[in-house]
Amino acid sequence: MAMLKDEQEKEITPGIPGDAAETAETAGGNAAEEAEKEKAEKEDVVVAGVHNYSREDSYVYPTDPWVLKKLDWFKDQKLGLMMHWGPYSQLGIVESWALSDRDADWSREGIDWEVTGEEFKKEYFALNKTFNPLRFEPEKWADLAREAGVKYLLFTTKHHDGFCMWDTQYSDYKITAEDCPFHTHKYADICAHLFESFRKRGIGIAAYFSKADWHVDSYWKDDTAKGKFKSRGPSYDPKENPEEWERFVTFTQNQIRELATGYGRLDAMWFDAGWVCKAAGQDIRLGEIIEEVRKVQPGMLCADRMIGGPYENYVTPEQCVPDKPMSIPWESCITLGTSFSFKYEDQYKSPREVICLLVDIVVKGGNLAINVGPQPDGRIPAGAVTALKGMGQWLGQFGEAIYGTRVCAPYKKDGIGFTQKDGKVYAIQTFRNEEDPVEDTVWIPYEGDFQKVTALGEDKVLSFSREKGGCRVVLEQREYDRAPVGRVFCLS
């Protein structure tokens, strides 16, 4: 994950790996491999750290009744809190990506001291020795999430850099290792305490996990033909080194199993690094381990991003929103600030901006995972706290039109978005700017059947009249210092 790029608002063919080009290069250059390389370069699964997303028509519906039940739960939630956090927060730069020499042109822009790429990589991998978030209080994070109206947490257990935010038994590059000063703290096993705090408040848990690991020597090493130059994929060809690749597969499956069986109930596992896939010659046999852990976690969702097939249970647009409603389960992950990771003096979206974004997503049938990068000391940035609390205030009044709803034609028209639930239709009018005019008469372009129109919140409906193409609603006059974030009408 990285910063927002305008060019990401496109769909590409699912399952085209970003590092297929590397695989073809290493394997020796026959015609088929060159064709795969050319295709991958044209349709990269990741551009500047941002994943594209799978097409609606390629979605494979699960057959497991427990998974289908969990998908219904997922579609009810609507609002998740995504959190990218790790030692990289100390630098205030993009997470992990600056380690990849292939991605140096865009990811090292925030590195403002004179070091070589090799020196930087050494310094980055040593950040664990200074990461000491003494002001981390998981209960306060969970309280804030509940106040914000958040229904599930999506937390980075491990990003591409390989640093583990739980007490893994398969790597020493972790928050609980002796060379990390936080290892003696009562909350040292961050995932354990964070997950438990959120669960106590009725908030679901999704574990982000990168399928790549740029720290472990079974994925990245220097004694290969590529030498010290590192790209997103392994530093060797898995076809030519099957034993080494199998060592990485075992390591990865062990960590997935560890998280899914030792850290309480998980509602979902969210797998990043879309170039790690069978099509790119990097098969970690994810389905094999997911089926195993589902014996312990029945129905646990699996979001294998951009891969398609039975283990991409929901689609994950990143830093963008589809133009039209999608009938499949989906979730847009979008930053509250300008970066997924913590950025010093970052600028955060206002509650108005986030609510308008949430409404646009929900009326199209999706969920919003709004991302916040915690500070290196363990606190949530003040600007993010203000935005989250403001979101919760609006949702406290109007959440009935958001949570548990489904799409309702005409979806969005004439500035009104539509959702439906329990035989009721909700018409949501949002105001993107404080200066927008607020009229006492509202046109609702809905032509379905209903008998009554009421308003949620403090507005009161004086009358309504059915007309061609919709319904005209007259409200009791109110004085506004500024336009509200949004108004909601219930048609029943």
What counts of helices (H) and strands (E) characterise the chain? 11, 17
If you average pLDDT over residues 173-193, what whole number do you get? Answer: 98
- Highest-confidence segment of 113-117, 129-133, 228-232, 479-483: 129-133
The model's pLDDT over 417-440, given as tens digits with 9 standing for 90+, comes to 999 999 999 999 999 999 999 999
Q: Measuring CA to CA, how many Å separate 269 from each of 46, 61, 126, 145? A: 20, 17, 28, 20
Question: What's the rounded Cα separation, in Å, for the pair 480 and 50?
Answer: 40
Question: What's the rounded Cα separation, in Å, for the pair 290 and 316?
Answer: 19
Q: In which band, very low, low, confident or very high, does the pLDDT at 6 lie, cut at 50, 70 and 90?
A: very low
Q: What is the mean pLDDT of the chain?
A: 91
Instruction: Decide: helix, strand or coil at residue 42.
Output: helix
Is the model's pLDDT at 309 over the cut of 70? Answer: yes
Is the model's pLDDT at 270 over the cut of 70? Answer: yes
Percentage with pLDDT > 90 across the chain: 85
Give the per-residue pLDDT at 491: 98
Give the per-residue pLDDT at 399: 98
Sheet holding 268-272, edge to edge: 301-304, 268-272, 204-210, 152-158, 79-83, 367-372, 331-335
Is the model's pLDDT at 38 over the cut of 80? Answer: no
If you average pLDDT over residues 464-478, what whole number do you get? Answer: 96
Give the per-residue pLDDT at 52: 79
Is the model's pLDDT at 218 over the cut of 50? Answer: yes
Percentage with pLDDT > 70 across the chain: 91
Q: Which residue has the tokens 């690991």?
A: 213
10 Å Cβ neighbour count for 323?
Answer: 9
Give the per-residue pLDDT at 45: 73
Structural tokens at position 10: 């496109």
Give the per-residue pLDDT at 50: 77
Is the model's pLDDT at 340 over the cut of 70? Answer: yes
Is the model's pLDDT at 61 over the cut of 90? Answer: yes
Give the per-residue pLDDT at 226: 84
Is the model's pLDDT at 28 over the cut of 80? Answer: no
Structural tokens at position 26: 């290493």
Q: Which residue has the tokens 């491999």?
A: 33
Give the per-residue pLDDT at 10: 32
Question: What's the rounded Cα separation, in Å, for the pair 257 and 414?
Answer: 49
Whole-prediction pTM = 0.91
Give the per-residue pLDDT at 2: 57
Question: What's the rounded Cα separation, in Å, for the pair 191 and 188?
Answer: 9
The model's pLDDT over 366-385, given as tens digits with 9 standing for 90+, comes to 999 999 999 999 999 999 99
Is the model's pLDDT at 13 over the cut of 50? Answer: no
Give the per-residue pLDDT at 34: 40
10 Å Cβ neighbour count for 485?
Answer: 23
N-to-C CA span, the chain: 42
If you average pLDDT over residues 185-208, what whole number do you get? Answer: 98
Question: What's the rounded Cα separation, in Å, for the pair 227 and 155?
Answer: 33
Give the per-residue pLDDT at 158: 98
Contact status, residue 389 vs residue 376, Cβ threshold 8 Å: no
